[in-house]
Amino acid sequence: MTTPVPQSESPALPELPVTFRPTRTRVVLLTVGAALLAVLVVIAVLLPALSPGERLSFVFTGLLFFLVLLLLSRPKVVADSGGVTVVNLTTRRRLEWAEVLRVNLRPGDPWVLLDLADGTSLAAMGIQPGIARDQAVRDARTLRALAEAYGTGESTV
């Protein structure tokens, strides 16, 4: 069970629209993807014993790795006055504020979970404490404050 955040720690509401995304994670993923692609292209060009098909397979493998890491860097949460849009790895879902009952980020959670009015939960992977825990907690609190201001729900962060 989590304790409510005192009002003094509640963040001021940001100007809308606001986008939440794991910036450090995104930078790491895209940097590693670009470096891996570059290394595989250099290998394909510099190894003299490779046939054209083998060279192409090195480049294709580098592109494949880069695209997978690009997909992993996709998650974000966009909040505007009408609601929130949650973009995860392969899905995108638009929610009205009234649909968001609670914003949860408990210790050990890999990302924010939104409790919805239909009784389900939705992962919001755009706010994840992986390598930037403090930023994720601030973002979760801000999203919670927005949900409370524009919607009807309560939240725990």
CATH code: domain of residue 132: 2.30.29
Task: Confirm whether 12 is domain-assigned.
Answer: no
* Residue 12 CB neighbours (<10 A): 7
Instruction: Decide if pLDDT at 70 tops 50.
Output: yes
Q: In this structure, what DSSP letter does residue 108 have? A: T
Task: Confirm whether 67 is domain-assigned.
Answer: yes
The pLDDT value recorded for residue 155 is 47
Q: Is residue 32 domain-shared with residue 82, that is, in the same domain? A: no
Closest among 28, 90, 29 to 65, alpha carbons compared: 29
Q: Is residue 90 domain-shared with residue 46, that is, in the same domain? A: no
- Tokens standing for 82? 């009408």
Q: Is residue 83 domain-shared with residue 66, that is, in the same domain? A: no
Q: Is residue 90 domain-shared with residue 113, that is, in the same domain? A: yes
The pLDDT value recorded for residue 9 is 58
Task: Confirm whether 56 is domain-assigned.
Answer: yes
The pLDDT value recorded for residue 152 is 66
Q: Is residue 81 domain-shared with residue 141, that is, in the same domain? A: yes
Q: Is residue 80 domain-shared with residue 142, that is, in the same domain? A: yes
Mean pLDDT over residues 72-92, rounded? 96
The proportion of the chain whose per-residue pLDDT surpasses 70, expressed as a percent, equals 89
Instruction: Give exposure, 128-141, as e/b (b: 16+ Cβ within 10 Å).
Output: bbeebeebbbbbbb
Instruction: Decide if pLDDT at 107 tops 70.
Output: yes
How many domains does the chain fold into? 2
Return phi, psi of residue 123, to 5°: -70, 130
Instruction: Scan for tokens 């601030």, then name that residue.
Output: 138
H/E run at residue 123 = strand 121-124
pTM: 0.81
Q: Is residue 48 domain-shared with residue 30, that is, in the same domain? A: yes
Q: Is residue 83 domain-shared with residue 68, that is, in the same domain? A: no
The domain in which residue 95 lies consists of: 76-150
Q: Is residue 117 domain-shared with residue 146, that is, in the same domain? A: yes
* Residue 7 confidence class, pLDDT cut points 50, 70, 90: very low
Task: Confirm whether 8 is domain-assigned.
Answer: no
Q: Is residue 85 domain-shared with residue 51, that is, in the same domain? A: no
Residue 114: strand pairing partners: 103, 122
The Cα 144–Cα 152 span in angstroms is 11
* Residue 157 confidence class, pLDDT cut points 50, 70, 90: low
